[in-house]
C-alpha cells in the first residue's frame, strides 16, 4: 500500500526535489545523528537523503578526479551531518580504533562499479578521525581486482579482499524467507560498515542500491532474485549483523546506468556526477529509483513497473515488520547540494 502511494506521488516528489535545485536544510542535526542513532533522521522524523553533485567532476569521458570526488564527499557528509568541517562529520559516524568495512560493488567491472577514488577519499577521512583498520571488501577477489583494487591481506591497516578469501560463517543466519551464511568480513572482522553501492538498473530487481548491495555479504545471492527480489532483499537486510553494522550508505552515482544492468552497458550509462548519502537505506534506494525512472522517461523507456521490474521490495523493507526505513516521499527529506 505504501509503495502504491509512493508511486502516485513520484512526479510531485521529483519536481519538488531533484529537479528544483538544492534544498539545503539549515540548523543542527538532531541528537539522533550520533554514532548510535538509529537513522539519519531530520526534524519531523524524516529520513534525510543527501544528493551531492558536481557537473565539473570530470572532463569529457574521463574518470572522476580524486580531488573532485573528495570535494563532493566532504560536501555530502557535511550536509548530511550538518557540520562545518568534514572531520567533524566523520566523527559522527565512527570511533577511533574501530575496524571499518567498506562494502563496495565491483560486479560489473570498471565501467560501473564503486570508484577507487571514492574509496580512497573515504579511507583518507577515516584515517583522519583515528580509524586505523579499514577493510575494503566485496564478494570476490577477482571482482575487486577487475576494478583496480589490489588485494591486501594482513591484520591491520588498509586491507582489501573478497569473501572468497575471508570465508563465510558456518551457521546459517535466518530471517523470513532468507537463510544464508554471512561473510566473516562482516560478522567477525568489521565493527562498522559503510555501504558503497552504485546507482544502476538491475534486470531482475529493478535497481541495485543500498539494500541490494548487501547480497554481497551472503553466500547464496543467486537464490534470492525471484519475484523481483521481494521479500528477499528486505529480509537479507534484517539479518542482525547486516542491520546492526551498517552505519551509512554512500551511493557512488558518478556514473549511473538506467537500463541493461547489472552488467555494464555503456550505451545506457550517463555521467550523473554525484554521490547520494543516507542512513536510511530504503529512502536512499527510493531516491535512486526515482533518479533512474526520470532518466528512463527522458530516454523514452518504459517505467520499471511496466516492465515488471519495479523494486517492490522497498515497500516490504518499509513495512511494519521490517522497518528498515521509508519509501514514502513525504517522509524523506531530500537535500540536494
Partner 1 sequence: MKFHDPQAMKLERPCFDLGDVDRRIFLKSMSLPCLAVACGAAWRAAPAEASPAAESDAQYVVEARFYEKLPFKKIKCKLCPRECVIDDHERGYCGVRENRGGTYYSLVYSRVVSMNVDPIEKKPLFHFLPGSNAFSIATAGCNVNCKMCQNWQISQVRPEQIKATYMPPEQVAKQAALHACPVIAYTYSEPVVFSEFMIDAAAAGRAAGLRSVVVTGGFVQTEALKKICSTVDAIKVDLKGYSQKFYKEVVNGELKPVLDAIVNIRKLGVWTEIVCLVVPTLNDSEEEFKGLAQWVKTELGPDVPLHFSLFHPEYLLTNLPPTPISTSSAPRPLQMPKGSTTSTLGMYRAILRKVPTAPNATRYWSGAADSSLWRSGLRKASVPTAKSRFQASGAEKFCDRHLLNLGPDVQTKVRCVCQD
Q: How far is the CB of 71 from partner 1 (least distance, A)?
A: 32
Which of 37, 260, 271, 303 lies at the binding interface for partner 1 (CB under 8 A)? 260
C-beta of 52 vs 178, nearer to partner 1: 178
For 41, 80, 125, 163, 257, the CA distances from 30, given in Å and listed in that order, are: 7, 11, 23, 36, 34
Q: How far is the CB of 69 from partner 1 (least distance, A)?
A: 25
C-beta of 130 vs 148, nearer to partner 1: 148
C-beta of 19 vs 109, nearer to partner 1: 109
262 part of the interface to partner 1, by CB under 8 A: yes
20 part of the interface to partner 1, by CB under 8 A: no
209 part of the interface to partner 1, by CB under 8 A: no
- CA-CA distance, 294 to 296, in Å (whole number)? 5
Which of 16, 85, 128, 220 lies at the binding interface for partner 1 (CB under 8 A)? 220
168 part of the interface to partner 1, by CB under 8 A: yes
C-beta of 259 vs 293, nearer to partner 1: 259
Sign of CA dihedral 69, 71, 76, 77: positive
108 part of the interface to partner 1, by CB under 8 A: yes
- CA-CA distance, 291 to 285, in Å (whole number)? 10
> In 10 A of CB 153, how many CB atoms?
10
Helix-, strand-, coil-residue percentages of the chain, each rounded to 5: 40, 20, 40
Residue 57's nearest CA partner among 255, 320, 205 is 255
Contact predicate 285/313, CB 8 Å = no
Q: How far is the CB of 132 from partner 1 (least distance, A)?
A: 25
Residues with Cβ within 8 Å of residue 4, at least 6 apart in sequence? none
- Residues forming contacts to partner 1 in the complex (CB under 8 A) are 107-109, 140-141, 151, 163-170, 172, 174, 179, 181, 203, 219-220, 222-223, 225-226, 260-263, 265
Amino acid at each position: 500500500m505504501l509503495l502504491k502511494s509512493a508511486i502516485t506521488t513520484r512526479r510531485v516528489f521529483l519536481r519538488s526535489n531533484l529537479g528544483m535545485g538544492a534544498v539545503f536544510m539549515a540548523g543542527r542535526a538532531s541528537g539522533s545523528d550520533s554514532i548510535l542513532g538509529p537513522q539519519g533522521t531530520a526534524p519531523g522524523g524524516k529520513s534525510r537523503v543527501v544528493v551531492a553533485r558536481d557537473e565539473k567532476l570530470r572532463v569529457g569521458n574521463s574518470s572522476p578526479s580524486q580531488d573532485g570526488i573528495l570535494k563532493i564527499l566532504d560536501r555530502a557528509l557535511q550536509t548530511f551531518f550538518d557540520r562545518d568541517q568534514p572531520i567533524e562529520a566523520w566523527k559522527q559516524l565512527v570511533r577511533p580504533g574501530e575496524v571499518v568495512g567498506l562494502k563496495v560493488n565491483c560486479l560489473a567491472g570498471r565501467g560501473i562499479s564503486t570508484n577507487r577514488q571514492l574509496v580512497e577519499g573515504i579511507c583518507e577521512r577515516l584515517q583522519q578521525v583515528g580509524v586505523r583498520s579499514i577493510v575494503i571488501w566485496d564478494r570476490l577477489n577477482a571482482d575487486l581486482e577487475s576494478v583496480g583494487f589490489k588485494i591486501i591481506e594482513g591484520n591491520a591497516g588498509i586491507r582489501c579482499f573478497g569473501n572468497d578469501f575471508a570465508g563465510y560463517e558456518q551457521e546459517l543466519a535466518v530471517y523470513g524467507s532468507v537463510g544464508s551464511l554471512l561473510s566473516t568480513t562482516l560478522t567477525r572482522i568489521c565493527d562498522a560498515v559503510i555501504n558503497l553501492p552504485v546507482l544502476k538498473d538491475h534486470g531482475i530487481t529493478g535497481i541495485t542500491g543500498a539494500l541490494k548491495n548487501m547480497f554481497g555479504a551472503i553466500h547464496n545471492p543467486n537464490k534470492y532474485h525471484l519475484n523481483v527480489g521481494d521479500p528477499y532483499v528486505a529480509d537479507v537486510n534484517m539479518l542482525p549483523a547486516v542491520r546492526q553494522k551498517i552505519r551509512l550508505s554512500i551511493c557512488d552515482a558518478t556514473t549511473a546506468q538506467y537500463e541493461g544492468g547489472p552488467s555494464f552497458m555503456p550505451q545506457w550509462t550517463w555521467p550523473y556526477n554525484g554521490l547520494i548519502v543516507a542512513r536510511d537505506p530504503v529512502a536512499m534506494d527510493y531516491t535512486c529509483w526515482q533518479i533512474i525512472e526520470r532518466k528512463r522517461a527522458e530516454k523514452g523507456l518504459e517505467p520499471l513497473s511496466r516492465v515488471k521490474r519495479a523494486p517492490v521490495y522497498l515497500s516490504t523493507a518499509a513495512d511494519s515488520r521490517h522497518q528498515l526505513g521509508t519509501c514514502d516521499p513525504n517522509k524523506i527529506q531530500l537535500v540536494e547540494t
